[in-house]
Amino acid sequence: MAKPRILIANRGEIAVRIIRTIKELGHTSIAVYSDADRDALHVEMADQAYRIGPALAAESYLSIGSIMEAASKAKATAVHPGYGFLSERSQFARAVAQAGMTFIGPPPEAIEMMGDKAAARQAADRVGVPIVPGTTDPVTLAEAPAEAERIGLPIIVKAAFGGGGRGMHLVRKPEELANALARASREAQAYFGRPEVFLERYIDRAHHVEAQIMADAHGNVFFLGERDCSVQRRHQKLVEETPSPVVDAELRQRIGEVSMALAKEAGYVNAGTVEGLVDEDGAFYFLEMNTRLQVEHTVTEMVTGLDLVELQIRAAFGEKLDLSKVQSRGHAIQCRINAEDPARNFLPGPGRVTGYREPAGPFVRVDSFVQAGREIPSDYDSMFAKLIVSAQTRPRAIKRMLRALDEFRVEGVPTTIPLHRWILQTRAFIKSSHTTTWLEKALRDAELEIPTDGAGHQPGVDGKQPVPAELLVEVDGRRVPVRIFDHRHESAPHPPSRQSARHDQAVHSVVKAQMQGTILRILVEAGQEIQAGDVVCILEAMKMENAIPAPREGTVSELPIREGQVVQVGDTIAVID
Ligand code: MV4
């Protein structure tokens, strides 16, 4: 075989991570980049790099045409999709194959079967994977009450072609059913272009447990252990670990057996994840199968010693895999480091990272695309690094993670590091009594008690949040760090950035987007007289609806937005004169 030329149809830390393995295997790596990523680390690290379009993901990382054009220009022989973006689009897998290249992922038929959540449930049921009681087909408004009666409340309404928690609605009382069904269906149409929804009994107080599968093209399927991803907020995982602290050897074997059976039923090849819930009684229920390499594959690598990207490449090239003797050792934990401010409702704070030092030392791994001076673009996901540690036991891994989090220095952008430090010291996490809904409730209960970054902290939107100044003094020959909580003593001046533009919002007549999102509804018209505080539009961002108020009274003189439009940070929403 000629030397493989692998194009990575992705960006950020996962592109960097895939390039590293490609280098180790002696293959050629080909990066693609949007205008926002011209100076990105993955572009620098790859053997070759091709521009695929503007910052807008729809016209770059999500554009099958642009990527295939780059792939043929680069004479790529294979394509790795990473996670997110095009990784679970069967048309992309087909386009790669049609161009005579190898798709480093599952067959398009398997992606399609698992993308249809109702079909996936039926496949799981056929081979004896326990499924949550519910409907095997999409339901209509007319059928729903009888089905709900049969299933029993509480019920969760899910989009048949959805995923990731979008378009899901909970029904606790019978009278909520019709409304939940209508909303879920409307959202399913808006997000996924298909209105079908189905019903499942809602499993309360469960751990989110998922099985790592690896399959070759010769019918061999292997189970590489489970991961516990119960620490989540709005369906964004924050902490992941393996093994799950709520899975014993017997349950692990059962989860492994049913997951392998499902992979075989689907004709699955490559890396995949069977996602499920473990309820309070220790019962496992299948939820869905993710047909990609996941963000948290790293913890599995840490305990198995396997390079999952290498195995993906080998499997895609038709090699036989034998992982039957693989044994997992110890415990691994991953913390996702996002450029978000937990103290400000996780508002993304992209921008230039002015200072950066990664933790190191025994059994510490950092997968990141950031270095001092590099930019975290506002156009994509806010996760910029993953911190992974392993140790012989879970308590030891928690201590190691706390040590590594303390070493991690990030300046210029807010981060989730202080939040992780807090999570890992809660009784719930230490005892593993936390369930999928735990973090959101704990955050509400803890309110402002969660410490935030001193160094990397941005001034608030109102510009009034004091930034503690840090001083180092020597007292009696001993080095003592001192923090000054007095806003007359500002810390070192912030470098000029888009952040400083936020200050004068309140006095300006230009209403700008403070976050990237989708305009759901516009509540004013051009030419209209409005009062201060009137809602101009609803901006959906971070899976939340944000009402954007007018900063002052006046006339709406410009309104350059449309419903359904995606706005970027700093885009003008309205001008008020
Ligand atoms: C569920 C569930 C409880 N019962 N299904 C969320 C993501 C998607 N992959 C499936 N998810 C869930 N499905 C049933 N029948 C709980 C979740 C779930 C969840 C639900 C609400 C709020 C947070 C959650 C976090 C993880 C999983």
pLDDT digits (tens, 9 = 90+) for 123-138: 999 999 999 999 989 9
Task: Give per-residue pLDDT as tens, 415-437.
Answer: 999 999 999 999 999 999 999 99
Q: b/e per residue, 485-510, with b = 16+ CB within 10 A?
A: eeeeeebeebeebebeebeeeeeebe
In the predicted structure, residue 493 carries a pLDDT above the cut 70? no
Six-digit token pair at 227?
Answer: 């991961």
Q: Are 233 and 175 in contact (CB under 8 A)?
A: no
Ligand 1 centroid distance, CA of 280 (Å): 15
Average pLDDT over the chain, rounded to an integer: 90
The model's pLDDT over 386-420, given as tens digits with 9 standing for 90+, comes to: 999 999 999 999 999 999 999 999 999 999 999 99
Tokens 């006095």 label which residue? 507
Give residue 261 CA to ligand 1 midpoint distance, Å: 23
Q: Say if residue 464's pLDDT is above 70.
A: no
The tokens of 539 are what?
A: 């901006």
Taking residue 357's Cβ as centre, other Cβ atoms within 10 Å add up to 12
Number of separate helices (H) and strands (E) present in the chain: 15, 32
Nearest-angstrom CA–CA distance, 206 and 286: 12
Nearest-CA residue for ligand 1 atom 5 is 202
- 492 C-alpha to ligand 1 centroid (Å): 44
CA 21 to centroid of chain Cα atoms: 22
pLDDT digits (tens, 9 = 90+) for 466-482: 445 677 888 877 887 77
d(CA 539, CA 576): 18
Other CB atoms closer than 10 Å to residue 144's CB: what's the count?
A: 21
pLDDT confidence of residue 361: 98
CA distance 532 to 472: 45
- Contact 516 CB / ligand 1 (< 6 Å): no
Overall average pLDDT of the 537-541 stretch: 80
| Mean pLDDT value across residues 533-557 | 79
Going by pLDDT thresholds of 50, 70 and 90, the confidence category of residue 462 is: very low
pLDDT of residue 453: 56
Any atom of ligand 1 within 6 Å of the Cβ of 232: yes
Q: What pLDDT is stored for residue 476 in this prediction?
A: 75
Please report, as a single letter, which amino acid is at residue 540: E
Given a cut of 50, whether residue 448 has pLDDT beyond it is no
Examine residue 106 and say whether the peptide bond preceding it is cis (omega within 30 degrees of 0).
no
- What pLDDT does 518 receive? 82
**544: pLDDT confidence band, cut at 50, 70 and 90?**
low
288 lines ligand 1 (CB under 6 A): yes
Statement: residue 555 has pLDDT above 50: yes
